Every structure is written in C-alpha cells, then in structure tokens.
Amino acid sequence: MTSVDMNLPNSLSVARIFLVPVLVSVLLTKFEGRLVLGLPVELVAGAIFGLASLTDWLDGYLARRRQQVTTLGQILDPLADKLLISATLVSLVQLGLAPAWMVAVIIGREIAVTGLRNLAYSRGLTMPASGLGKLKMASQVTAILLLILGWERLPQLLVIGQAALWVVLISALVSAVDYYQGFQRAMLARAPKIADFETAKSAREKKIS
C-alpha cells in the first residue's frame, strides 16, 4: 500500500470500518440508566451511525473532486458500507427492533450483488452503483436512523422506521434484479468482441503455421 492509495477518501473509508465495532458496542451494551457519557444511548448510537454514513458520501465526493479514485478505494468503500449496514441491522435484530427474516434477505442481497460485481470485475467489466442502488442505500440509512432514535423513547419513530424497512427490502430486491440485468447486457455486448478476437487470433495462428 502506498501513500497515494491511503489518501483522504480512503482514510475516511477505513475510519468508517473502525466505527462499526464502536457502534455495535454502544447498541448492545446494557448501560446503567441507558446513558452513555450522560447522553441517552440512542442519541449516541444515532450520532455514530450518522457520522459513519456521512463519511460514505464524503469519501466518494472527495475522491471524485480531487481525482483520487484508486483501486483500493473501490474495494474499501463498498466493503465499509456493507460492514456498517450489516452489523447495524444484525444488532437491531438482537434488540428486537427489526425482523430477522427481513434483515436476512437484505444481507443476502448484499452478498449476491457483491459476488456478481466480483464476477464482472474478473471478466473486465465494471458495475457502478445504479440509481436504484443509491435509493436502496439512502433508504437503509433513513430506516436505521429512525429505528435507533425511536428505540424505547420515541415509539412513533420506531413505527416509521419499521415501515421504512419495507422500502429498503423492495429497493434491495429490485436493484439486485437491475444489477443482474445490467451484467447480462454487458456480457451480451462483449460477446461479439470476444468472438472477433478469437477469430483473428485463429487466423494469425494459421498464417504462422
């Protein structure tokens, strides 16, 4: 790893990864009086999650603005996102704030899309985040914040957050289908080029022989 790789955007992605265990600890530790440093635990957890989510937007913005997009960053950014969202959702299941089956489907979708992206990358294709994928991420952040802030003290927010999870579920499934269809289209568009390359290669080999 070089100093060029560990630029400010990538450092923010690493910081997001380190915030994950801090957030999980705050959520799952039974603090006396439900206070952390004199503040309600849900406010502290919400602030940590909000800060981590902000770094997700900020690292991408800075990478584009400063022209510091690196291969390391393209790996770290989605990895940090998935760790943050998955760990927080599992913690919310433990607290009884989110249905286990719904979280399992959402995390399963993340694993499937990650596998598809890795497959595309191995074949020389890129799969940038789609509009549906960005909607899914935004709805995830919103739903999780509502669930955390509504935890015990504000039941109205909890109800809205649980309803927002349905938006997350639907957008996750629809965007997964969209990614798969995009992968298929890219492979079909690439097939004639591969065929032309193989034909030219075969012709050269025959000419040499």
DSSP secondary structure letter of residue 128: P
Would you say 100 and 142 are in contact if contact means Cβ atoms under 8 Å apart?
no
Q: Which CATH architecture has domain 8-208?
A: Up-down Bundle (1.20)
Q: What is the mean pLDDT of residues 150-165?
A: 90
Mean pLDDT of the chain: 83
Q: Residue 5: what pLDDT?
A: 62
**Helices 100-122, 155-208: inter-axial angle, 10-degree rounding:** 20
Q: Residue 22: what pLDDT?
A: 95
Tokens encoding 169:
């579920």
Digit-coded pLDDT (tens) for 8-43: 888 888 999 999 999 999 999 887 777 788 889 999
Q: Residue 204: what pLDDT?
A: 54
Q: Could you tell me the residue ranges of all domains in the chain?
A: 8-208
Q: Report which of residues 38 and 87 the model is more confident about.
A: 87
- Report the percentage of the chain scoring pLDDT > 70: 87
Q: Residue 197: what pLDDT?
A: 43
